[in-house]
Structure 1
Amino acid sequence: MTTHWIDRDVSAQAVPVSVNMVDRIIVGETAPMRQLKRMIAAVAVSEAAVLVRGPTGAGKELVAEALHRASGRKGALIAVNCAAIPAELLESELFGHEKGAFTGAERARPGRIEQAAGGTLFLDEIGDMPLALQAKLLRVLETRRIQRLGASGEQTVDFRLVTATHRDLTAAVADGTFRADLFFRISVFPLTVPSLAERTADIPLILARLIEDYSSTNPAAEPPHFDLGAIRALSAHPWPGNIRELKNVLMRAFVMLPGRMVTARHVRDNLLGMEMPEPETADIALPEPPAPQAKGDLPDPSQFHDALQRLGDIDLRGYIRDIEVALIEAALDKRQGNVAQAADALRLRRTTLIEKMKKFGIRRGLAA
């Protein structure tokens, strides 16, 4: 039985558009993530510069995307990784150049700041920017004017600045490797992205989104399915690489355990320990979780007794979960996706059924 997790409260009503936009981009419902998303929604519509802080791999670029998308700005989001471009090339990358400005400049080229006109400029790892270039960036932020290398005049550029770093810029200011005036200019609104270890309760939601994204671009891939033991094992991992590391673990699961139910042992031995899993065995299976149309169609308990006698140990919680999912899906099918009527058929309150659907990732009947 396939089990997924829903990644947001799609039943919520009367939520500001900016919050819905942020919620679609950034996955997480733990307290620090709800606080972060509220802050993003509040500051997105302003022109204030935002400094995004957090460990490597935590998803700082998603915060920049959410800020841009929720801002309503019509221009593009232009991203520059200051640590990935050699210092001698970074100035040309940011400011652009005219034809003949230097050896090899065979044609004029707009810089990233110019390309961000009407939109958002995202400077990732700004803590790695050379001091000389920091001074030039500060002047751009003060005047909103840029000059291409080799040009004789300046031009005005309207852009929103978002920066990010994993470094302690306060310490960098103290030791003289980062300008204090630039620091105060870029950190009008500092936002902190928590590490994955600080929000392990979000792991099922993040996995569901990653599986959905990967499956949409690789439709032939068989997604793995994580049982509760696997989720607990993932939650116990320290995640030094944060979400980037979790993506790697999921890719291993797609390769090593396609279409299989991933257990805690698989997580420890195969996905984290990098041992090849044993082939799936043809064990005697339990009866399929029931999808009854009427009370009289429920399987007789003796079927389970006989299967257990032959099979031995099972994951009871996982099997009961699969039964619950099957019954909810059957009730929704019988009531053409009407959640209220399905709740009546299952003798549940509508709100209780919605919570269960969210928990199991059953989207049918929930508003998008």
Structure 2
Amino acid sequence: MDAENILKHILVVDDEENMRHMLSVLLTGEGYLVETAVDGMEAVRLLKDKIFDFVLCDIRMPKMDGLAFLKAAESVEHGATVIMMSAFGSVDTALEAMKQGAYDFISKPFKTDEVVLVLKKAEERERLRRENIRLKRKIAELEKKSGFGAMIGKSKAMQEVFTLAEKVAEHPTTVLITGESGTGKELVAAGIHTKSGRVDEPFIAVNCGSVPENLLESEFFGYVRGAFTGADRDKKGLFEEADQGTLFLDEIAELPLSLQVKLLRVLQEQEIRPVGSAQRKKIDVRILAATARDISEEVQQGRFREDLFYRLNVINIQVPPLRNRSEDIPVLCDYFVKKFTKSLNRPDIEGLSHAALQQLLVHAWPGNVRELENVLERAVILTEGPHILPENLPENIQGSRADNVVDFLVGISSIKEGRRMVEERLIRQALEATQGNKSQAAQILEISYPSLLSKIKDYRVSGP
């Protein structure tokens, strides 16, 4: 649904019935959804209960005038743009109203097109304000390296992920992102949004497993006042908040079957019905979903609807685990060390020692990139010298793929034989850590590529 066609909700506050009637007719004809209040007190009550885009408020009113209303409205998180009007206007009154938060001021009597013009200007101002907020968020995300173009990965596996994500970004296609926990599925989703035509609209991420089941429907679709105990005002759900933008559903396999049915209907019909409402609302939201589970297995076990799976799995992007792309570890380490030396105010740390990097390269990384990030944050805190050493790493990483050397060489008296056994074992470990990448293995072992090939042949070492 085009954002321009969504009705703007406006509250007209004036003690004169004729003025309220005239403005209601005028603004309804201009495509606004209009409600009225006779004074500031009633207006504040309405702001607490409903969502308005604009408030058109008179200054001179009984009980609570316009300036008092502006002050009282500060305690209500209404988000509306307020425009004041008065037949007793002066420059001082206008300045005072704008100082208290009003966007503009109209003097009575006014021509009808004046009111419309001020509202259109306010709409444009609000659009620019939202765009500015989104751009600031986008810049902040890029600075954190969480945008797609800024994701780190030079391995072939990650380059394939980037290429596919780039291709699907410009289309409204639903994408299912799969991969182990900690691999960066949300970063891929955020990157797709950034590269899409929806970049200036909201990107909203929700972990489906973190929302209590009894609150899922109201969180997703919103609710109207009185829908249930405690619903004292209308509230937008995640789909409506993400209208025109992207909604990222992380851990989609955690959704109960009852909500899977409703999600399928939203995907098919592009409309939602808030809890407690008889009216449906059209929405335009791109859905990106992710899961760490084998969702096809979930379908076979009856825990996930097959029709929803096919609806979501138009394009599947599989993010590889860190252990399958060890060539990305050095660049990731470089980025995280720079990040934490800056955020933790440790400019004295220059980087990782070669020995520490070797330990990181051969670790299995069950927690993937998230685990690596946590390990390096800890290391930056504990390091005392200019370089991060193996002893600054967690114990489980210090001993990665390494058996006790003394036990390993028990019964060996020949230095030549012992050296051969150690070399063969180290080569096997390096090849296993790099998934058979001999060039990367040579770097880990600190020997030349031809020398490694020669030793592999001599020791008859096969692939991992």
Deviations 1:269-302, CA, capped at 9 Å, x for gaps? 59757xxxxxxxxxxxxxxxxxxxxxxxxxxxxx
Give the distance between the partners of 1:122 and 1:247, measured in 2 at CA: 23
Distance 1:213 1:111, change over 3 A: farther
Partner of 2:263: 137
Give the distance between the partners of 2:288 and 2:380, measured in 1 at CA: 34
Partner of 1:195: 321
Matched, 1:45 2:159: no
Give the distance between the partners of 1:46 and 1:134, measured in 2 at CA: 24
Asked whether the 8 Å contact 1:121–1:160 carries over to 2, the reply is yes
Asked whether the 8 Å contact 2:337–2:380 carries over to 1, the reply is no
Gapped regions of structure 2 (runs ≥ 5) = 1-144, 400-442, 444-464
Q: Is the partner of 1:110 in helix, strand or coil? A: coil
Amino acid at match of 1:199: R
Partner of 1:257: 383
Partner of 2:3: none
2:208 aligned to 68, 75, 82, which one? 82
Give the distance between the partners of 1:204 and 1:111, measured in 2 at CA: 42
Q: Is the partner of 1:249 in helix, strand or coil? A: helix
Partner of 1:30: 155
Give the distance between the partners of 1:217 and 1:150, measured in 2 at CA: 47
Matched, 1:120 2:246: yes
Q: Is the partner of 2:248 in helix, strand or coil? A: strand
Amino acid at match of 1:53: T
Matched positions, count: 257
- Tell which deviates more after alignment, 96-105 or 185-194: 96-105
TM-aligned CA deviation for residue 198 of structure 1: 0.7
Q: Is the partner of 2:393 in helix, strand or coil? A: helix
Asked whether the 8 Å contact 1:64–1:162 carries over to 2, the reply is yes
Give the distance between the partners of 1:121 and 1:23, measured in 2 at CA: 16
TM-aligned CA deviation for residue 260 of structure 1: 2.7
Partner of 1:65: 190
Asked whether the 8 Å contact 1:45–1:70 carries over to 2, the reply is yes
Amino acid at match of 2:154: E
Give the distance between the partners of 1:84 and 1:26, measured in 2 at CA: 26
Asked whether the 8 Å contact 1:225–1:259 carries over to 2, the reply is no
Kindly report which structure 2 residues correspond to 1:89-238, keeping only aligned pairs within 5 A, or say none. Answer: 89-219=215-345, 222-223=348-349, 225-238=351-364
Distance 1:269 1:128, change over 3 A: closer
Asked whether the 8 Å contact 1:57–1:244 carries over to 2, the reply is yes
Amino acid at match of 2:168: V
Normalized against structure 1, the TM-score is what?
Answer: 0.65
| Larger-gyration structure (1/2) | 2
Normalized against structure 2, the TM-score is what?
Answer: 0.52
TM-aligned CA deviation for residue 207 of structure 1: 1.9
Deviations 1:46-102, CA, capped at 9 Å, x for gaps? 111000000011111100110100113121110110011111111111111111111
Asked whether the 8 Å contact 1:53–1:191 carries over to 2, the reply is yes
Asked whether the 8 Å contact 1:125–1:165 carries over to 2, the reply is yes
Give the distance between the partners of 2:305 and 2:148, measured in 1 at CA: 34
Distance 1:21 1:255, change over 3 A: closer
Q: Identity over aligned residues, as a percent?
A: 40
Matched, 1:56 2:181: yes
Give the distance between the partners of 2:340 and 2:356, measured in 1 at CA: 20
Asked whether the 8 Å contact 2:146–2:190 carries over to 1, the reply is no
TM-aligned CA deviation for residue 204 of structure 1: 1.6
Amino acid at match of 2:323: A
Amino acid at match of 1:235: L
Asked whether the 8 Å contact 2:359–2:398 carries over to 1, the reply is no
- Tell which deviates more after alignment, 223-232 or 183-192: 223-232
Give the distance between the partners of 1:132 and 1:268, measured in 2 at CA: 44
